[in-house]
Every structure is written in structure tokens, then in C-alpha cells.
Amino acid sequence: MPLATIELTSRIGVGVRTDKAALLSGAHAAELRGLLERYGVVIARDIGFDDDEEMAFAATLGTLRQEFGHPIMKVTLDKRENPEFADYFVATNQWHMDGTHEDVPPLASILTPRVLAPWGGETEFANMYAAYEDLPDDQKAQLESIRIVHTKLASIAHTLDNPSEEDLDRLRNYGSKIHPAVWHHRSGRRSIVMSASADHVVGMDPAESAALIQWIKDWCEQRRYVYQHQWRMGDLLIWDNTGTTHRVCDYDHACGRRLHRVTLLGEERLAQAA
């Protein structure tokens, strides 16, 4: 029997009614992959996975990706929980796609909450398939014709308070990737590749490039493409990283908010040759 579903907004997000045992059985895996591709975000309430269950469930959907040696990434600003990467998550309040520094960005991620923020801390997702579909034809043609350089520095520049040249050099050395502005998916669908990591348009005058990147961001951030998830303990959230962009809303950085993320390996190459 198919899962009971409810659309969360008219353009993005679907809720499914199910339980832990059904999810872990893998019986709905193919259907969930289909919902993910169609709706961008899939949520289920009152599941309550622990780490092992979250990993086992993720493995029914795809291939688990080791994130810096760990299958579980603790998404938190609390350095006691994640000494290596807590600082990195400060930058995730900007709309971004994960893995734009790679040739093949992750397919999807699974998130479960462990400590809730007392206020704020919602996660927002925007549907980049819908944002592409709604573009006027001349804008579609323009975006189809450009390529964008993505860098680590661009994605975290807004968090740097008076960075030294040394810091900037280290970030510049992190490398860059050239991605098309429009992802032509194997499925035949197309989506805008929008991320804070977008640094400049290849071969374009810097001022014109900055204005175009800002235009793309403004277009993609329109509320009609956005689903805002308000976290409750027990939630399970899955998002399609290839066809959406995401960010966290403001919250008290000292509150210990923590989510556990498992990420699935990408299955389609995005990067283009330099």
C-alpha cells in the first residue's frame, strides 16, 4: 500500500505518515526516492531514530557517505559535540547546496533533531526545479549559457570578521569548481544551481557577474519556492541536495541546538571542465 502523504506547500515538501519499523524495513525506499525527487523535501513526524537507525534507514535509500571519516555529522555550533566542524556551521544561515566544492555533490541528506533551539533554528529549503520552471524564456537562455565558479571563500566570507591575508589564502587554496548555472538532471528535469559558494560567472565583467549572481539568489529565495521546517523531537527529514538549496534560520548560538545528519553519495556529476 502506498504511503499516506500530504503536500506541505504548493511547490515544495511532502509529509508522510509512517513508523520506524516500516522505514527500517526498506519497503518504502523506492517510493521515498520518488517523493524526494518530486517534492525536494520529505518529512515524517514521531519517528525517533537513534544514530544506528538513522544510518540503517539511509542505507535503504542510497550509499552512505563518510563525512570526514564519520557517517554521522553532528550539525551544531557546540564545540564540545563537534570540535572539528562547529565553526563551519555558522555559515549555513546563507542559502547553499552542500558539496559544491566537489564534482559530484551529495544526492541527499537525512536529518534528525537531538537538541532543539528554544526559538528559531528552523531549516528552510527552496525548490530549484520550480525556480527554473518559472523563469521567463530569456532568463532561462541566459542561465543556460553561463558557468559559475564556486569557492569555499565565497560561502563563508560573510562570517569572517577582519580575516588575515593568511586566512584568506588558506580558503582560496581550498580550491574551486566550475558548475553550470542550470543542472540538467539524468531524469530530464532542470534546476538552478544556487549556493552561497557562487563566486563569479566565468568570463564576465566582475560588476556584471556580481549583479547576476545576486539576481539569481533573489529569484531563488522567493517565498513561493520555500518550505520552512519547524523542528520537533522525533522528526525525520530527508532533502534532495541536487534540486534544492537550504539554510538555517537565526537562533541563539549558545543554546546547543544539534541535529544528526547522514548524507548519501551523489549519483550525478555536476562539475564541468575548467
Q: Phi and psi at residue 139, in whole multiples of 5°?
A: -75, -35
Residues 45-64 that bind Fe ion (CB under 5 A): none
- Shortest spacing between CB 211 and Fe ion, in angstroms: 26
Q: Which stretch binds Fe ion (CB under 5 A): 21-29, 90-98, 119-127, 175-183?
A: 90-98
Q: How far is the CB of 199 from Fe ion (least distance, A)?
A: 18
Closest CB to Fe ion among 11 and 247? 247
Least distance CB 261 / Fe ion (angstroms): 8
Q: Scanning residues 92 to 131, which ones bind Fe ion (CB under 5 A)?
A: 98
For residue 140, give Cα distances in angstroms to 129, 176, 191, 242: 12, 25, 10, 18
> Please, what is the minimum distance in Å from the beta carbon of residue 105 to Fe ion?
11
Q: Is 240 one of the binding residues for Fe ion (CB under 5 A)?
A: no
Concatenate the DSSP letters of all residues of 76-101 into one string. Answer: ES-TTT-TTTGGGGGGGGS-B-TTTT
To which residue does cell 549559457 refer? 145
Question: In b/e form, how buried is each residue of 125-151, taking b as 16+ CB within 10 angstroms?
Answer: bbbbbbbbeebeeeebebbeebbbbbb
CB-CB contact of 191 with 241 (8 Å):
no
Query: Which one, 17 or 158, has the nearer CB to Fe ion?
Result: 158
Which residue of the chain is nearest Fe ion when measured via CB?
Answer: 98
Residues in the site for Fe ion, rule: CB under 5 A?
Answer: 98
